[in-house]
Amino acid sequence: MSPIQNFEQHSRHLIEPDLPIQTRLQMAMEVRDSLEITHTGEYLNFLKCYFRAFSAILYQITKPQFMDNPEHKLRNIIVEILNRLPHSEVLRPFVQELLKVAMHVLTTDNEENGLICIRIIFDLLRNFRPTLENEVQPFLDFVCKIYHNFRLTVSHFFENGAAVPPAPSASISASTSSLTGLGGDDVKPMDVSDQVALPTGYVGAGQLNPSTRSFKIVTESPLVVMFLFQLYSRLVQTNIPHLLPLMVAAISVPGPEKVPPHLKTHFIELKGAQVKTVSFLTYLLKSFADYIRPHEESICKSIVNLLVTCSDSVSIRKELLVALKHVLGTDFKRGLFPLIDTLLEERVLVGTGRACFETLRPLAYSLLAEIVHHVRGDLSLSQLSRIIYLFSSNMHDASLSLSIHTTC
């Protein structure tokens, strides 16, 4: 594709009102393919010519799309261009407006464009931090919104509802109540059933989730929030009291007991979002203990519930075990003691997949040994028997390292 010769003329043509969508899309692709110019002395001229055009396309000329069509492709290319702009001093005069554009797309557009905008926002805050403190509250408000709607998002994907998210149904309430006790057999692992029919709210091929109803967006958000709290300490006092209860409620949502094959990807995304949220909450344990303390029991139950129900993904289960380790390093470990029966099940600790079994056993059993140490005076004969059998079995397992044998 030939390089663009005249930025000003090309950018004016790009936003002509009567331009066909396919032509506009082709021109946007030409800009994207010419982005190497932003690493030269022409970067400022490029921004002066195109930034207003990009904003006009995202604000006025196009609308957010929830089907994969040319208009979505156009918006996606524009957002991709904005994400690839070098964060040099040349960009500084445009930073605040770029942040507003990214927030607009994040809060109104689909999941695919929203994920790119989260990267734009994070990179801008990281590279231009002194000038943007007043611009970050809208992002935190958006995070509160997606956590507030989390249960509705779960209902939308996993219940036989229409496209509009229904109110939490009796089946969710029943699932939640069955998890409350968290006895040894109360919680069952996720069962992928081939017999479940497609729900009417199923999101099929070509459809795009709104960013406000996306587990992927939830997964990416805690890292940005953590960074903002480290950067702007005053934001903690005003946002933690609102955000924390919403996050605690989100990680306690059990999800469906039976997952049809076509929704398995959404289920894995759900659990990934909850695990990232747990990691964020355990990050807060030491610094903001007073805010966390009322939720001690709920957080510990949710961590164990997630160990029971999450998929056999090594990265997800390892992150959960690391969160468990952080809890054991604080006074909040007391919330885990009543859950010892569930934690004594090997499938809960390390999952059932071969990769998880081989990779996670050393960390899992060292954590279990620490929990057992704290509750050793309160164990029943049945629990002692299970513990002796479990650890003696590992002592005779030649595949485990010497350090694990010593722990056992």
Domains along the chain with CATH numbers: 1-129 (1.20.930), 136-332 (no CATH)
Mean pLDDT, the chain, integer: 85
Q: pLDDT value at position 176?
A: 37
Q: With bands split at pLDDT 50, 70 and 90, how would you rate the model's confidence at 400? A: low
pLDDT of 71 over the 90 cut: yes
**pLDDT tens digit sequence for 150-188:** 999 999 999 853 333 334 333 333 333 333 343 333 444
- Rounded to two decimals, the pTM is 0.83
Q: Which of 17-21, 65-69, 199-203, 344-348 has the lowest mean pLDDT?
A: 199-203
Q: With bands split at pLDDT 50, 70 and 90, how would you rate the model's confidence at 362? A: confident
Q: pLDDT value at position 407?
A: 60
pLDDT of 92 over the 60 cut: yes
Q: pLDDT value at position 190?
A: 40
Q: Which of 43-52, 80-89, 323-332 has the lowest mean pLDDT?
A: 323-332
Q: pLDDT value at position 178?
A: 34
Could you give the angle at the alpha carbon of 165 between the alpha carbons of 292 and 201, nearest 5°? Answer: 125
Six-digit token pair at 160? 């036989």
What percentage of residues in the chain have a pLDDT greater than 90?
A: 61
Residue 119: name the closest of 99, 135, 136, 134 by CA. 99
Beta bridge partners of 67: 207
Q: With bands split at pLDDT 50, 70 and 90, how would you rate the model's confidence at 78? A: very high
Higher local confidence (pLDDT), 394 or 228:
228
Could you give the angle at the alpha carbon of 304 between the alpha carbons of 167 and 166, nearest 5°? Answer: 5
Q: For residue 44, count other CB atoms closer than 10 A to its CB.
A: 15
Bridging pattern class, strands 258-259 and 191-192: parallel
Q: pLDDT value at position 175?
A: 36
Q: With bands split at pLDDT 50, 70 and 90, how would you rate the model's confidence at 31? A: very high
Q: With bands split at pLDDT 50, 70 and 90, how would you rate the model's confidence at 408? A: low
Q: For residue 284, count other CB atoms closer than 10 A to its CB.
A: 19
